[in-house]
Structure 1
Amino acid sequence: MFRNAHYGAYSRAWQDYLESCNVNTSKFGTGGTKTMSWLFQELKEGSSFLEQPSDSPRPWSMPGRPKIMRVVEPIFIRLRFRSRVLVQERQQFPDGRMRVRNMLLAEKKEPRDSGGLLAAIHRGIHEELGVSLEDLGRDDVIRYRPDTYHFEIEQIDSASYPGLPSSYRTHHVQVEILETGLDVFLHCGLPEFSDFVTKEKTAQGEVTLFWRWDDVPTALRKG
C-alpha cells in the first residue's frame, strides 16, 4: 500500500511513476476528466490512496494491465426536501472545461473526518453548498436517516482518471432538510425547487457547480 509519504514531490516524477505501473495518463485532463494535479491533491489530502491489487485473478492482473489501483471511499448523499432530492447537473473546472455529472451530492471520506461518516456528510454539504458547519450541527436543520444507509464495494475504471482502475468503497446515505432548517438552504433554490449554482474552492481553483431538484424516483436512479 502506498501512503502519502511515498508520493513524489514533482508532477513529472509522479506521472513517470504511474506510467511505470502501466497506467496510461495521456487522457488525464482531457474532456471531462481530471488532471494529474487533481489526483496528486487527492492523494495528498488522503481522500484517495494507491495500492497494489491482490494476486487474485482480475482484469488488471493480466500482462500489460495497470499494476496499481486507486482506492476511494465516496459518500453519495440523497439530500431531500419534501418530495425532491438534490442532483448535481454539471460542473465547470477552473480551466473552463465542463463536466456532465447528473448525480447526487457526493464527497470523498478523508482522514480529517474525525467525526466519522456524519462529519464527512457535513463537510460535503458545507463545501459544495456553502452551508456553515455550525448550522449543519443544529438539531433543527437537517436529519440523517441511518435506517436508509447502504454500503457497497465495486472495482471499475475511473471516469475521472481513465486508465486507472479504482476500487470504490461507497456509502449511500439520506439526509433530510427539516422545515425548521429551510432558512439555511434558501440560497439552494428552496422552497421553489429552482435550479441554482454554487462555487467550490479547490487547490486547483474555483469550481462552478450547477444543481437542480429532481423528484425522488428520478434522483434515486442517479445514486
Structure 2
Amino acid sequence: MSPPLPPLQPITNRHITTLPDLFLTAISICCFLFPSKSFPFHFPFPSRSRRSLKISTMSLPPQTLKTHHSNSFTTPQSLSEWLKPRLPSDSFAAWGVKPGTKNVHNLWLELAEGETSLADSIPPIRTVQVVTVRIIDKHNRVLIEARQELSDGSWRDRNRPLSEKMKPNETTEAAVYRAVREELGQIIKGSVGDSENESVVRIVPGSYRKKLEERNSASYPGLPACYVLHSVDAVVEGLPEGEFCTEEEENRECEENRRAVACEAVSVKKHYWEWVSADSTKS
C-alpha cells in the first residue's frame, strides 16, 4: 500500500514566480553565456550618465514661479540690484542707452502701478496685460501708431493699433475708454469724459479677441516678455481723416515719489498716427 499523499498546502506569494522574475532570470543567464559584445539582443538600459534637459522658463506654468508685483521693490535701485545677476550684462547695460529702449526706472514704475509682474527666474519673465483697440473709420481703415518720439531724443517705430497696458482689476471695456481718452482725447472733437464714453467710443459687438504672445521685449533688451493681449474693434467719433500727432500729458495724479522716478525714466513725448488698410492689420 502506497504511503498517503502529504496534505495540500495553501498557495502563497512565495510559491509564485512572476513574469518579471522570469524575464530578469533569463536576462541574467544570457549575460552569463554571452558576456562579450556578441550578445544577440540589445536592451536599452539607461546609461549612468544623464543628460540635463533644459526647460525654457517661458514654458513653465506661472504657479511654479515666484512672482514679484508692485510691493516687491521699494526703489529702482533695489530692482536694479535684483535684475543684474539675472540678466546678460551687455543686455542690461543697453537699457535706456540703446535708442528706443527704456531704463530700470520705467520698469519700476510699471511694477509700482501694477501694470507689470516679474517671475523670479533666470532670466526673469515680464508679464503684461495689454488692451489693443483697432479703431476703424468709415473708409474701412484702421488707425495705427506709426512711431513715437521719446524724451531722450530717439525715435521708436510702432506700426500697431492703439495699445495700452491695463491696470490691476481693470475690465477690457474700461481699459478701452481710458486708452482712447489718454492717447487721443486731446485731438478728438468733443469730450471723452466718463459720462460720454459710449457716445464717442463704440466697441464693435463680438470683436473681442484674446491671445498670448511670448517674445523678447524691445523696450528692455534681454528680458523675455509674456503679453496677454485683449483686442477689440471700435469706432471713435471726431478723429481727423489724415495723419496727425498727439503729445503725451504728464500724469499729475501719481504719488510724489513716483513723479520723481518718472523724471529719470524714458518717456514718450509725441505719438504719430496714420490710417492704413484694415486688411494690413489683421493678425
Give the TM-score band, short-chain normalised.
0.7 to 0.9
- Using the size of structure 1 for normalisation, the TM-score is 0.79
Matched, 1:134 2:134: no
2:120 is aligned to 52
1:73 maps to which residue? 129
Mean Cα deviation higher: 139-148 or 99-108: 139-148
What is the match of residue 60 of structure 1? Answer: none
RMSD over aligned Cα, in angstroms?
A: 2.0
Q: Does 1:96 align with 2:153?
A: yes
The aligned counterpart of 1:153 is: 212
Does structure 1 residue 43 correspond to structure 2 residue 111? yes
RCO greater where, 1 or 2, for CA within 8 Å and sep 6 or more? 1
Amino acid at match of 2:119: E
Amino acid of the residue matched to residue 75 of structure 1? Answer: V
What's 2:70 paired with?
A: 4
Structure 1 segments, 4+ long, off by >6 Å, are: none
Contact persistence 2:130–2:228 (CA under 8 A): yes
Question: Amino acid of the residue matched to residue 229 of structure 2?
Answer: T
TM-score (normalised: structure 2): 0.64
Separation of aligned partners in 2, 1:77 and 1:210: 16
Task: Give per-residue Cα distances to partners, 1:133-189, cap 9 Å, x unaligned.
Answer: 426734332211241111111221111111001111111111113xxxx3xx2xx42
Work out whether 1:212 is the aligned partner of 2:274.
yes
Matched residues in 2 for 1:39 and 1:90: separation?
21
Q: 1:206/1:91 Cα in 2 relative to 1: closer, same or farther (>3 Å)?
A: closer
- Unaligned stretches of 5+ in structure 1? 54-65
Counterpart of 1:21 in structure 2: which amino acid? R
Number of matched pairs: 195
Counterpart residue number, 1:198: 246
Please tell me the residue identity of whatever aligns with 2:230.
H
Deviation of 1:96 (Å):
1.3
Aligned to 1:86: 143
* Identity over aligned pairs, percent: 30
**One-letter identity of the residue aligned with 2:81:** D
- Structure-2 change in CA distance of 1:169 and 1:195 (3 Å): same
Max Rg structure = 2
Query: Structure 1 residue aligned with 2:99, among 8, 26, 31?
Result: 31
